[in-house]
Structure 1
Amino acid sequence: MLRWEIHDVKFTGERRTCLARLDYGQKWIVSDVNMTTRTFRDFIRRLAQYASAQSIEVKYMYDGEQQTEQDTVLLRLENYREQRNGYDFQRVLKAYGISINSFWNTARS
């Protein structure tokens, strides 16, 4: 079962920049500017399923401050957007350090 750690994030229709990480990794995924918090939650849940993650941590990004450790890597979803098909899950997972082969095996089943 997937465990969520939510730091006062409200998954409503508002557009606020959020950060999320899987299994307490050092990389944080940053929501896209056109995403609502609800859309980001759904995106991260799907990504976590493909990655076989056990936990998701989500928090807001305040005033452009990352609110994370100094040496943290931020993966901005805007860099993984395709023109017609939404986001490139394969590239996001690869950048996060998750095996592409395990992703495709999970996606096909």
Structure 2
Amino acid sequence: MDRPADTDPICALCGRPIPPDVPQSLHHLVPKLKGGKGGPTVLLHQICHSEIHATLTEAELARSYDTPEKLREHPRLAKFVGWIRKRPPGFRSKVPGKRRGRR
């Protein structure tokens, strides 16, 4: 039996529900290698988490992007969020691995 969508956790980056059959991931707001091992985490769709790490280095994450709000303000992530919000919550990328290099 399916759970109602309103009981699914919400992705901290894109704001869409995370259905139980969709890969999800915990994101350390300060990377573990930069002192965030025990620090706050947020739940994300795996595709959203992958986009964060394809966009920003660990140093950039620790220095300037340590909240979901700051992540959404990054130009490339803002564009990604606008694009992914048009997809259903269960959307998965068909392209394996990192899609593009950092700018």
Q: Which has the higher strand share?
A: 1
The TM-score with structure 1 as length reference comes to 0.29
Q: Which has the higher helix share?
A: 2
